[in-house]
Chains A and B, each alone.
Chain A
Amino acid sequence: MLGSLEKRILSVLFKEKKTTARDIFRKLRAEGMTTTYVTVNTVLSRLYKRGLINRISEPYRGSFRYTYEYKDLKEGLISDLLGDVTLLFGEEGIDLLKKKLDTKKGKEQVKTKEKAKPLSDTETMRICLSRNNIQNSIIKKIEEISGQKVSACYQCGKCSAGCPMINLMDLLPNQIIRLVQLGQISEVLDSKTIWLCASCFTCSARCPKGVDLAKVLEALRLLLLRKSENYIEPSELDIDENMPQIALVSNLRKKTG
């Protein structure tokens, strides 16, 4: 038998076919589910150990990561269920099941209308703290490259309030700096935010603590770019001939190593 979270995770995997724990976590969060990344990860390895899904280990950012793959379970699960029903109730069970299935279709349509309201980021922003992470030597590295003291930030949120790209970001600028303070580096390096920042210096100009956040974000990009992990593939760019050279050069300076 599958637990409720197991079912939700399998349903995401069924749609995506192949994905990572982080993406499943994000999908569930977007659907309004209150769960944590760690829980999703645990459930995924349990499902893998039970042979219900595939797990592939692939190189990623200097180490490796797991990707999970959907295995076709439909046939097995359904015959299991049917087996139970016929074993216990015989023909009568099958008839009942048929009736239920017909009404279920109608109900399902009603149900989709009343979608759960997605929780806001502040309600679901949960991370797992550990002493190891907080003492992460990468924090020092980030401070060295940026020349900024990240611990100076006291989370007033002024940076996020003035950021022109905020509506597209998955982590707010003040969340980035908080996560760096707590050593949650992979969370930050996986975010879209570090690439959306175009160094307009609005946050830097307004920070009451004098933290130059544009430099912190540059340091985070450089952690990846200096390992030649380009964010874009230059050969795939579609260049308009009217585009000024400064656009191209700055794009390549900021998004490739």
Chain B
Amino acid sequence: MELCYYPGCTLKTTAKNFELPAIASIEKLGHKMVELPRWNCCGTVHSLAADDLMHQLAPIRTLIRVSETGADKVVTLCAMCYNTLKQANKIILEDNEKRDRINNFLDEEKDYSGNVSVLHLLEFLRDEVGFEEIKKRVKRPLDDLKLSPYYGCLLLRPEGIGIDDIEAPRIMEDLIEALGGEAVDSPFKSECCGSYHTVDDIDPVIERTKMIIDDSNARGADAIVVGCPLCFYNLDYRQKDAKERYKEFNSIPIFYFTQILAIALGLDESTCAFGEHFVDPRPMLLNKNLVLSGWK
């Protein structure tokens, strides 16, 4: 099946290690991610103001581009893109007055009626491919690998937008188990990582990173698995600051879920672009016999 794929800015630059293994894995599973030929910024945060339609235009324009290709769904990887696209689509579906105002304003575009469904790749893997099917395709089971899923906010909330149960999500756990790994539960898995404060106020981010990672370490996890480039940055790169502040801090590798999928499907580790990580996961993977020793 051909999948209409909306990457967003970050996937094309600092989160190549998220995109490359996704494209390769989906191909391995017999589908194809086809990038939307023309797309623009999603706006990154959904505008919460009831009187602000201007900031809904960017995501809606992207959804119009999707419907122009004839596709009825679009797949995203970035949690922020997923959230803004889906929330903007919800406005179009549920508020006729706002839908008409937006369509009147975008007079050069075709009218949009909310017919594109916004999917996160995790949903596609669960609902369209199926975890049972993925399990059958695993070439290199993640035996003996304890992974702690970290969902963050925007994959789960607000209600009606999230990809799984809002308080007790299982989707990443199910994926990890399908790949042969062991899912380690964490009470912080759906709590905020500090998000965009990482730009101007790193203190709360360092504290949260430390708390989340200390907990995963205490539960014996080998790594944390995320689905958002901002969570990834805060949990991976901010470990440097956490280590500077707390001598006793123990680092832990952070994976995108697409990377563990690629490894389990037997893809070459070069597709995972592990060089982009602050905490290199390869020594740990090598220890578990999951990557070739040639990378050094």
- Binary CB contact string for chain B from 179 to 210 against chain A (1 if under 8 A, 0 otherwise): 00000000000111011111110011000100
- Binary CB contact string for chain A from 205 to 239 against chain B (1 if under 8 A, 0 otherwise): 10000001011001100100000000010000101
Q: Which residue of A lies closest to B50 (CB)?
A: A147
Cβ 8 A contact of A196, one of B45, B50, B204, B233: B204
Instruction: Say yes or no: B237 contacts A242, CB within 8 Å.
Output: yes
Instruction: Report the number of A-B residue pairs with Cβ-Cβ less than 8 Å.
Output: 127
Instruction: Say yes or no: B44 contacts A250, CB within 8 Å.
Output: yes
Known: A244-B10, A245-B10, A249-B41. A199 touches B48 (CB 8 A): yes
Instruction: Say yes or no: B194 contacts A243, CB within 8 Å.
Output: no
Please report whether the interface of chain B is mostly helix, strand, loop or mixed according to DSSP: loop
At the interface, yes or no: B265 with Cβ under 8 Å from chain A?
Answer: no
Contacts of B47 in A (CB 8 A): 218
At the interface, yes or no: A158 with Cβ under 8 Å from chain B?
Answer: no
Q: Which residue of A lies closest to B195 (CB)?
A: A198
Instruction: Say yes or no: B191 contacts A200, CB within 8 Å.
Output: yes
How many residues in B have their beta carbons less than 8 Å from beta carbons of A?
A: 43
Instruction: Say yes or no: B51 contacts A244, CB within 8 Å.
Output: no
At the interface, yes or no: B287 with Cβ under 8 Å from chain A?
Answer: no
At the interface, yes or no: A50 with Cβ under 8 Å from chain B?
Answer: no
Cβ 8 A contact of B45, one of A147, A222, A254: A254
Contacts of A253 in B (CB 8 A): 43-45, 55
At the interface, yes or no: A181 with Cβ under 8 Å from chain B?
Answer: no
Q: Which residue of B lies closest to A241 (CB)?
A: B14
At the interface, yes or no: B1 with Cβ under 8 Å from chain A?
Answer: no
Contacts of B15 in A (CB 8 A): 244
Instruction: Say yes or no: B233 contacts A247, CB within 8 Å.
Output: yes
Instruction: Say yes or no: B153 contacts A201, CB within 8 Å.
Output: yes
Contacts of A248 in B (CB 8 A): 196, 199
Cβ 8 A contact of A200, one of B44, B159, B192: B192
- In the bound complex, what is the Cα–Cα distance between A249 and B9 (angstroms)? 10
Contacts of B167 in A (CB 8 A): 205
Q: Pick from A215, A240, A245 the residue with the most CB of B within 10 Å.
A: A245
Instruction: Say yes or no: B204 contacts A246, CB within 8 Å.
Output: no
- In the bound complex, what is the Cα–Cα distance between A196 and B48 (angstroms)? 16
- Binary CB contact string for chain B from 131 to 174 against chain A (1 if under 8 A, 0 otherwise): 00000000000000000000001000111000000110000000
Instruction: Say yes or no: B191 contacts A202, CB within 8 Å.
Output: yes
Instruction: Say yes or no: B14 contacts A242, CB within 8 Å.
Output: yes
At the interface, yes or no: A191 with Cβ under 8 Å from chain B?
Answer: no
Contacts of A164 in B (CB 8 A): 191-192, 208
Instruction: Say yes or no: B51 contacts A251, CB within 8 Å.
Output: no
Cβ 8 A contact of B196, one of A147, A205, A247: A247
At the interface, yes or no: B218 with Cβ under 8 Å from chain A?
Answer: no
Instruction: Say yes or no: B157 contacts A243, CB within 8 Å.
Output: no
- Binary CB contact string for chain B from 1 to 25 against chain A (1 if under 8 A, 0 otherwise): 0000000111001110000000000
At the interface, yes or no: A168 with Cβ under 8 Å from chain B?
Answer: yes
Extra 16 A-B pairs, beta carbons < 8 Å, given A145-B49, A249-B43: A164-B208, A198-B195, A198-B196, A202-B192, A214-B158, A215-B48, A218-B49, A237-B200, A242-B233, A243-B199, A244-B229, A244-B230, A244-B233, A250-B80, A253-B45, A255-B200
* Interface pairs (5), CB distance under 8 Å: A196-B204, A201-B157, A215-B48, A251-B198, A254-B45
- The 4 A-B pairs with the shortest beta carbon distances in the complex, nearest first, are A147-B50, A201-B157, A200-B192, A218-B48
Interface residues of A (CB under 8 A from B): 144-147, 164-165, 168, 196, 198-202, 204-205, 212, 214-215, 218-219, 222, 232, 237, 239-240, 242-251, 253-255
Interface residues of B (CB under 8 A from A): 8-10, 13-15, 41, 43-45, 47-51, 55, 78, 80, 153, 157-159, 166-167, 190-192, 194-200, 203-204, 208, 229-230, 232-233, 237, 278
